């Protein structure tokens, strides 16, 4: 098919230029990906060589083929779990709206729920201490 | 300069087809790099047909580790960069979105597609909101592209979905990509639209007109972004 006249005219106003560096947006992307369950699908590169196979038990060839180191690792679910030293559980009944607000603050500020509770208590006590 | 990223967490929404249609059209006027970040490498396979336009470059070794680097290299080389991603909710999608100047979310007129597209909007909006805390005025414009629509009949489901998107304030391109044999033939013959033979492919002229209209609307949207970077579109 012969090509017709180019309908787009001059696109010279779009030029190749060193892109504005958006590398700063990357750590945001990491958080957004984790918060929305967009997990890594890239097979993890082996960091250290796999432990040498134990020569004790003779392995059947079929079983050996199943245990090849190329087997993709099990996909991990995104986790917001972190080690904070807070180990006490509080199970609180609340309204959906309050819970939603709590979760939103946690996601937006990237704060563990325990930290929000502590800060909220501090703020509450500070407000009580203020002379009215 | 504009980096256009095609996103849909659902497969089969038309990402690869619509990204190739756009790249092919833009390459008629300017240099375009298409980054094929789908592990199945459909665009790379298409390019193996040998009919790739001269101004269209295909980068097919992108993965989660190097996607940002590949986008930066491409942006320095050609005026347009198009990123086609795999149809899953994976981290590489968000990384590519973080580097985008414009995001296109291809969506078919089905409830399933629309629900998955919703996940894409949330990611785009959240990315924009969180970057804005560091860079006030940052905008990450996006638009839905309705794909595989019937040029003659408008289904009630599609009308309902479009109404829902507009009501939710989600931008939708006026142009839809129709279900056209020519768009499939691009892949089966491994040809750009202009390389297809009208004797082999029905309604090729209509497919070309549809592709041009889509590219024109994208160019208009990109100009808006370029002219008013602080306001976005």
pLDDT tens digits for B78-120? 999 999 998 888 999 999 999 999 999 999 888 888 888 888 9
How far does A129 lie from chain B, in Å, by closest CA? 32
For residue A60, pLDDT beyond 60: no
CB contact under 8 A, B64 and A42: yes
How far does A102 lie from chain B, in Å, by closest CA? 17
Q: Is residue B233 part of a domain?
A: no
A10 in contact with B, Cβ within 8 Å: yes
CB B96 within 8 A of CB B85: yes
Q: Which residue has the higher pLDDT, B22 or A37?
A: B22
Q: What is the pLDDT of residue A132?
A: 63
Q: Is residue B205 part of a domain?
A: yes
A:B CB pairs within 8 Å: 133
How far does A30 lie from chain B, in Å, by closest CA? 7
CA angle B113–B58–B51, rounded 5-degree value: 100
CB contact under 8 A, A31 and B130: yes
For residue A72, pLDDT beyond 80: no
**Whole domain around residue B200: which residue ranges?**
3-227
Q: What is the pLDDT of residue B168?
A: 87
For residue A54, pLDDT beyond 70: no
Q: Is residue B222 part of a domain?
A: yes
Q: Is residue B152 part of a domain?
A: yes
The predicted-structure confidence for B189-222, as pLDDT tens digits, reads as follows 999 999 999 999 999 999 999 999 999 999 999 9
Q: Is residue B232 part of a domain?
A: no
Residue of A11, A17, A41 with shortest CB distance to B29: A11
* Residues contacting residue A109 through CB under 8 Å, at least 6 positions apart: A116
* Residues contacting residue B143 through CB under 8 Å, at least 6 positions apart: B102, B103, B104, B105, B171, B172, B173, B221
* ipTM greater than 0.85: no
* Cα four-point dihedral sign B185, B188, B192, B197: negative
Q: What is the pLDDT of residue B232?
A: 40
Q: What is the pLDDT of residue B197?
A: 94
Q: What is the pLDDT of residue A39?
A: 87
Query: Two tokens at B128?
Result: 């924009």
DSSP secondary structure letter of residue A100:
H
Q: Is residue B135 part of a domain?
A: yes
Q: Into how many domains does chain B fold?
A: 1
Q: pTM above 0.90?
A: no
Token pair 């044999």 in the structure block, residue? B181
The predicted-structure confidence for A114-131, as pLDDT tens digits, reads as follows 999 999 999 999 999 987
Query: Which residue in A has a C-alpha nearest to residue B22's C-alpha?
Result: A8
Q: What is the pLDDT of residue B44?
A: 95
Q: Which residue has the higher pLDDT, B7 or B9?
A: B7
CB B143 within 8 A of CB B105: yes
C-alpha B12/C-alpha B79 separation (Å) is 28
Query: Two tokens at A46?
Result: 């082996």
Q: Is residue B47 part of a domain?
A: yes
A27 in contact with B, Cβ within 8 Å: no
CB contact under 8 A, A29 and B94: yes
Q: Left if phi > 0, otherwise alpha if psi is -120 to 50, otherwise beta: which for B3?
A: beta
The predicted-structure confidence for B136-159, as pLDDT tens digits, reads as follows 889 999 999 999 999 888 888 888
CATH of the domain at B27: 3.40.50.300
- Best of B123, B203, B206, B220 to substitute, by most chain A Cβ atoms within 10 angstroms, is B123
How far does B30 lie from chain A, in Å, by closest CA? 7
């Amino acid at each position: 098919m012969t090509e017709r006249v180019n309908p787009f005219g001059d696109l010279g106003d779009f030029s190749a230029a060193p892109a504005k560096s958006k590398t700063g947006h990357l750590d945001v992307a990491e958080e957004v990906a984790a918060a929305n369950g967009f997990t890594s699908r890239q097979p993890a590169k082996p960091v250290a060589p796999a432990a040498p196979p134990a020569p004790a038990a003779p392995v059947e060839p079929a079983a050996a083929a199943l245990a090849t180191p190329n087997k993709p690792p099990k996909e991990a679910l995104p986790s917001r779990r972190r080690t904070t030293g807070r180990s006490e559980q509080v199970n609180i009944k609340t309204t959906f709206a309050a819970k939603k607000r709590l979760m939103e603050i946690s996601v937006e500020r990237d704060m563990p729920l325990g930290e929000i509770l502590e800060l909220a208590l501090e703020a509450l006590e500070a407000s009580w201490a203020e002379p009215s | 300069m504009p980096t256009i990223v095609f996103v849909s967490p659902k497969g089969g929404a038309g990402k690869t087809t619509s990204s190739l249609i756009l790249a092919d059209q833009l390459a008629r006027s300017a240099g375009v790099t298409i980054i094929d970040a789908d592990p199945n490498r459909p665009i790379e396979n298409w390019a193996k047909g040998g009919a790739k336009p001269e101004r269209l470059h295909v980068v097919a070794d992108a993965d989660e580790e190097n996607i940002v680097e590949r986008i930066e290299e491409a942006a320095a080389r050609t005026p347009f960069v198009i990123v086609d991603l795999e149809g899953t909710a994976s981290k590489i999608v968000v990384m590519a979105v973080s580097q985008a100047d414009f995001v296109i979310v291809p969506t078919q007129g089905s409830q399933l597609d629309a629900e998955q597209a919703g996940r894409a909007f949330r990611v785009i909006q959240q990315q924009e909101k969180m970057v804005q805390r560091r860079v006030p005025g940052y905008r990450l414009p996006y638009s839905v592209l309705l794909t595989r629509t019937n040029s003659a009949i408008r289904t009630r489901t599609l009308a309902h979905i479009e109404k829902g998107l507009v009501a939710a304030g989600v931008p939708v391109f006026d142009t839809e990509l129709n279900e056209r044999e020519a768009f499939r033939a691009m892949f089966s013959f491994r040809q750009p639209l202009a390389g297809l033979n009208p004797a082999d492919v029905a309604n090729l002229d209509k497919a070309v007109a549809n592709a041009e209209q889509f590219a024109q609307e994208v160019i208009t949207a990109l100009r808006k972004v370029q002219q008013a970077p602080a306001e976005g579109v």
